[in-house]
Amino acid sequence: MIVSSHPKAAKTGQYVVMAAYCLFLAFPLLWLLSMSFKGARELYELHPSLVPHHPTLDSYREAFTQNGLMHAAFQSFKVATATAIITTLIALPAAYVLARQRGIIAKVGLGWILVSQMFPLILIIIPLFLLLRDLHLADSQLGLVFVYVVWTLPFILWMLQSYVRGIPRDIEEAAAVDGASRLQSLVTVIAPLLAPGIIVCTLFAFIQAWNEFFFALVLLQTPDKATLPLRLAQFVGIEGIVRLGPLAASTLLATIPSLLIFVIIQRWLTRGLLSGAVKG
């Protein structure tokens, strides 16, 4: 009886640890949810509680009516969608070449991808701004999309080439025997097998562009072009006074798309890691 109870106790302990870890990760969201329903007086209590004593929707009304939250969210959606599509279209053939080519060029390319991730953003922002200004792309969402594509592409390329390596070469060789060119093999054979990986990379690029703040802060000056992170920053006044209620409500609403996309990524990521072995 003692021996048989050990696996049950270990399993129960694992569930307890997982539940505690999930609660730890979810606590910031729970705190945001609590603050978004609190009134102005309750927000600044000396000993705040997690459950609002007098729930109110005033913070959500202010976020929607006074700060142009929906307009900024639409701008972020346009920029993030364009970034995700363009990045994936560029990364797919490039990842195929890096994964299938053997030689010094492929090794140098992969090495440069890793090195490019080490540069701090603050070192490139001034040359980047001057370049976009000369190209008449400063203070434009097109220029911001261009920056996001260049910024996101190395990591997406690294992810996607690992998916390509999981697809056996025998499939391409069979397509070549049937008379398919490399481009035809990529479009009709490799791309369908890469569907889970492509979805993961596309959604990752979307999330990166949706949450980005620093580039948008430097490159965009027109208020109507401001993205959602810039709009959230406006809840902090010049004197450093923060409107906690509307900020919590807006931040919670801005987090929902990322959470939903992350749930989708989890499902497709598992499929993508196994797709090469299963279909090969």
CATH number for the domain that contains residue 129: 1.10.3720.10
Asked whether residue 104 is assigned to any structural domain, the reply reads: yes
Task: Identify whether residues 83 and 187 lie together within a single domain.
Answer: yes
Q: How deeply is 44 buried, as exposed, middle or buried, from its count of CB atoms within 10 A (0-12, 13-18, 19+)?
A: exposed
Same domain, yes or no, for 164 and 262? Answer: yes
pLDDT at 42: 78
Instruction: Give the C-alpha separation, 262 to 26, whole Å.
Output: 14
Domain end point (choices 33, 56, 79): 56
Clarify whether residues 268 and 204 are in a common domain.
yes
Distance from C-alpha of 197 to C-alpha of 274, rounded to nearest angstrom? 10
Domain that holds residue 3: 1-56
Specify the number of domains making up the chain: 2
Q: What are the residue ranges in the chain where pLDDT is below 50?
A: 1-4, 273-280
> Side chain identity at 54, as an amino acid letter?
H
Does residue 237 lie within any of the structural domains?
yes
Which pLDDT value is given to residue 88? Answer: 92
Residue 86 CB neighbours (<10 A): 17
200 & 125 share domain: yes
In a domain, 139, yes or no: yes
Give the contacts of 57 (CB within 8 A, at least 6 positions apart): 37
Same domain assignment for residues 45 and 175? no
Domain boundary among 35, 56, 77: 56
Domain assignment present for 171 = yes
> Do 97 and 207 reside in the same domain of the chain?
yes
Residue type at position 117: Q
The answer to whether residue 61 sits within a structural domain is no
State whether the Cα torsion 220-221-222-223 is positive or negative: positive
**241 and 107 share one domain:** yes
Domain membership of residue 62 (yes or no) is no
**Same domain as 80, residue 49:** no
The C-alpha angle 272, 273, 278, rounded to 5 degrees, equals 85
* Residue 251 one-letter amino acid: T
**Residue 63 located in a structural domain:** no
Check residue 237 and give its pLDDT: 67
124 and 238 co-located in one domain? yes
Q: Which pLDDT does position 76 carry in this prediction?
A: 92
Q: Give the end of a domain, one of 13, 33, 56.
A: 56
**Are residues 108 and 32 both part of a single domain?**
no
**Residue ranges of the alpha helices (H) in the chain?**
2-36, 40-43, 58-66, 69-100, 104-116, 121-134, 141-165, 169-177, 182-185, 191-193, 195-211, 214-219, 228-233, 244-279
Task: Provide the pLDDT for residue 239.
Answer: 64
C-alpha 191/C-alpha 130 separation (Å) is 38
Whole-number Å distance between alpha carbons of 33 and 177: 59
Token pair in block for residue 102: 């053997």
Residues 51 and 75 both lie in one domain: no
Cα distance from N-terminal residue to C-terminal residue, the chain: 46
**Is the domain of 182 the same as that of 264?**
yes
